[in-house]
Structure formats: structure tokens, C-alpha cells
Amino acid sequence: MGRVTADELTAERFEGRAALEALEPEWRELVAASGVDPLCNGFTFVRAYARGWLDESGPGAPFGWVLRDRDGRAQALLPFRREPARGPLALGRARLLVDGTFDSDYLDLPTRPGAERAAVECAIELLRRERGLQALVLASVPADSTVLECWRQVAAERRLPTRERPDACAVSDLAPTFEEQLGRLPKRMRSKVRQARRRAEEAGATASWCDDTGRLDEHLETLFELHALRWQSVGEAGSFAQAPRRRYYGELAHGLAAEGSLRLARLDHEGRAICLQIGALIDGTYYQLQEGYDPAVDAFRPGIALRGWALEQLIGQGARRYDFMGGDSRHKRDWNAEPRDCRTLALALPRWRGRLAYGLRAAVDRLRG
């Protein structure tokens, strides 16, 4: 099908978790057709996020639209959530459905090729009609996204003020073998990996995948506990102190396990787990989601030892890319990761409050030079 215009599309609204989950077949089809990143835009991730973080109904529930052509075929999904109120005078903002809690990257609109601009035009008009919304925030969108460029173009044509800033994730393209991959690491990091694995082996530590789905909840609780221990050692609570994040990870882990893409690595020492790392292997890319380790056994670097073991296993399973997600850092560069460019774009909706607030901010930025 060629390019689709907004006039050719009909918007079908959904609201609430049940309505969202009823879209599963079309959601999966559109994600595959659109070429958007399959993890955070995929239905398994979205469903888990909604069950963990969002309400079943009401202002805290997911909402959005399916855009259909004249034959009733879904051309695009517009999934959103309302940002919790930030104060009595703050703008009401919409975000993409799985954004706002630092759990997602590479977000985009699942859209058939040729319908990207029409989807953006429809989204702006539909959100304009939503009561209490004056702005839209699109976080961690891949810089090469066709839809992102459409947001920029339509906002410019309609004179909607915008703000944009760079984001970055860290990704390592993997060699065909583990030894070749080690050879790509900085010399000091190669030594750390080999030393950590050797020390773990000499101490009697053993690594394995947590493949028994009957014990998955038990493994997750261990992950949460180890993650908390790590952060408590530096005076912080850690991200799993939030019950919604624990629910979300539970839903996500079970969903990924059902699809065969969950990878939960565990390092045991003296009869107990000392490190766990959770991720997903999808279409040749391993996404590293979270990890936790016991800082009391940091002497033989359990995190490095387990990552080295898991990396060797993943390459053997056909992984071609290791995605650290969530920002760039020296630690990730040590594993031969390079930044993947993303953008966060915020724009005023066609309503006076949003235009005024964003326009004034843009004027201030220009004056500051």
C-alpha cells in the first residue's frame, strides 16, 4: 500500500487495560510490519507495563486510538498515558504508554510504512480534543525514526513550539565467537573478565540459566533482594523498592518466558545466589534489563563473572548485539558498547496554554543564547 493520508483514516478509541489487551493480535502485527524496536514497543512489554504501573480504568489508565483505513485494516497504533499531575499550574502532558518510569527505551508508534505522517497528524488532533492535555512528551525515540521526523515536520508546519534533547543508549555489536568478542574489549577489561571468571570458578561459584518457569517468581524475589542489597550498601533503596516495578517485572518475566525470549542468568556460591541478571533475547539482540548482586562477595566481581559467562552463552545462541539500554557510561564502553542516538521531543498541543508555555520557554532559551 502507498502513502496514506489522515483523511483516509478513522480513529477507534480504546481506554483501560482490558481494551488495551483486546488489541493483542493487531498490536503484534503492526509492530512486525512497522519495524519499530520489538522489546519496549512489543505487546508483551506493553501489557506487563500496563498491569504493573497503570490503573484498570480512570485517569491513570492507558488510552489511545487504533487508526483504520477504509477497509477496516489497522494502519497505526497511538498508545498514550496521562502524566501524573506535577502541580496545580503545571501543563497536563501525555506520554507514550510505557514511558515515564525509566523502564523503557526506543519508543515509537507502531505504524505501517506509508502511514507515518498521517498517524502523527491524527495523534495531534485527537490529543488536542482530550480534556486537560496541553502538551505531549515523546521520550527515547530512535534518532533515525521516520515517525520522529514526521513529528518535527508537522509541529513546524502548525507552528507548535517544541523542545528537543539528545538521549543515548549503549549497544555492542557482537563478534561470531566469545574469544573474538573478548579481543574487542580494552586490554584492562579483558583481564578483568578472565580474572573474574577464574576467581569465581576457583571459589566454587557456578553459573546457570533460570529455565524452570515453576521457580520464576522465586528467582525474581532473589533478584529484587540482591538489587536492594547493592543499593543499600551505598545508602539508597534501589528501583525495586517500588511495588509497581516489582509487579511489572513479574508480568514481563512471565510473558517473555512464555515466548521463549527470557534470559535470567544466576551465579551461585556456597549454596545461595550472589548475582542475577535479567534480559531478553529477541531477533538476535539481547536486551539487558536489570541485575543485582551481593556486595559482600564483591572481591571476585560476581557481576563481571556472570556477564562474561552469559555473553559466551548468548553468542552461542545466536545473539548478534548486546543492548545495555538506559544511558551511556564508561562501564558499558568497557564492554565495547557504542552509543545509540535517541531523542526526547516535547511539543505543545494546539491549545493556547501549551503554545504559550512552550513559546515563552523557547524565547528564554534564545535570549540565553
**What domains can be seen in the chain, in order of their start residue?**
6-167+343-368 (3.40.630.30), 175-319 (3.40.630.30)
pLDDT tens, 189-215? 999 999 999 999 999 999 999 999 999
The three grid cell numbers given for residue 131, joined into one nine-digit string: 480534556
Element (H, E) at 265: strand 262-269
pLDDT tens, 269-319? 999 999 999 999 999 999 999 999 999 998 889 999 999 999 999 999 999
The answer to whether residues 49 and 97 touch, using CB atoms and an 8 Å cutoff, is yes
Report, as an integer, the average pLDDT of 320-346: 94
Report, as an integer, the average pLDDT of 250-279: 98
- The structure's pTM equals 0.95
Closest CA to 38 of 328, 289, 285: 285
How high is the pLDDT of residue 368? 77
Which of helix, strand or coil describes residue 199?
helix
Compute the Cα dihedral for 176, 179, 180, 183 and give only its sign. positive
CA angle 31, 129, 119 (to 5 degrees): 25
Q: Given pLDDT bands bounded at 50, 70 and 90, which one contains residue 156?
A: very high
Closest CA to 49 of 115, 119, 104: 104
Closest CA to 45 of 101, 83, 92, 94: 101
Give dist(CA 62, CA 94) in Å, integer.
Answer: 11
Give dist(CA 80, CA 94) in Å, integer.
Answer: 6
- pLDDT greater at residue 88 or residue 113: 113
Q: Would you give the end-to-end CA distance of the chain in angstroms?
A: 45
Query: Is residue 31 pLDDT above 60, yes or no?
Result: yes
Angle separating helix axes 43-53 and 243-259, nearest 10 degrees: 150
